[in-house]
Amino acid sequence: METKLASISDLPVTTGLPGIPQADARLNGKHEVRLAKAVGITQFGINLVTLDPGGMSSSRHWHMAEDEFLYVLAGTPTLVDENGHHILGAGDIVGFPAGQPNAHHLLNHSAEAVMMIVVGSRKPGEETIHYPDDDFGPIHK
């Protein structure tokens, strides 16, 4: 079995919200590098996400089947969830357990870039993602 190695500088950077083209214009300030996928990891995703000043991580959403975890590396993103607005900083972690309807996303209201690691489970089978603020409704994967 060969060990998969990758250099982050060689990996593609994606923007927008994969699978939802109409959301891309709102996410111009988001840049994402898919770290786990680059080394063949399939049971969970690990992404390096950068938000430019004024950037947004995604539409507010929550997952029926997949957990999400966030670790802030740099900057001061604002987490918006069902409980309000929360200013985060480097070293802060946040978890979003599967099946809990706590729609969330992050905004960068600061003048500096935000960098964070986002981890999500990749549970086999059907997944439903709810987007309560948008007209594209739940997405079924």
pTM of the model: 0.88
Q: Which helix (H) or strand (E) holds 116?
A: strand 114-121
Give the number of other Cβ atoms within 10 Å of residue 86's Cβ: 14
Domain assignment of residue 120, yes or no: yes
Backbone angles phi, psi at 113, to 5 degrees: -65, 150
- Alpha helices (H) in the chain, listed in sequence order: 35-38
Three-state DSSP state, 103? coil
Identity at 25, one-letter amino acid code = A
Report helix, strand or coil for 26: helix
Lowest mean pLDDT among 1-10, 49-58, 73-82: 1-10
Given the structure tokens 């905004």, which residue do they identify?
A: 107
Task: Tell me whether residue 34 is in a domain.
Answer: yes
Domain that holds residue 108: 30-132
- Domain-located, residue 59: yes
Whether the CB-CB separation of 27 and 14 falls below 8 Å is answered with: no
pLDDT over 70 (residue 48): yes
pLDDT at 119 exceeding the cut of 80? yes
- SS3 call for 80: strand
Is 37 within a domain? yes
End-to-end, the C-alpha distance of the chain in Å comes to: 30
Q: How confident is the model over 63-68, as a mean pLDDT?
A: 92
Inside any domain, residue 93: yes
- Let me know if 79 is exposed, middle or buried by CB neighbors in 10 A (0-12, 13-18, 19+): buried
Q: Tell whether 140 is covered by a domain.
A: no
Inside any domain, residue 4: no
State the total domains in the chain. Answer: 1
Residue 23 pLDDT greater than 80, yes or no: no
Residue 114 lies in a domain: yes
Contact 109, 78 (CB under 8 A): yes
CATH number of the domain to which 43 belongs: 2.60.120.10
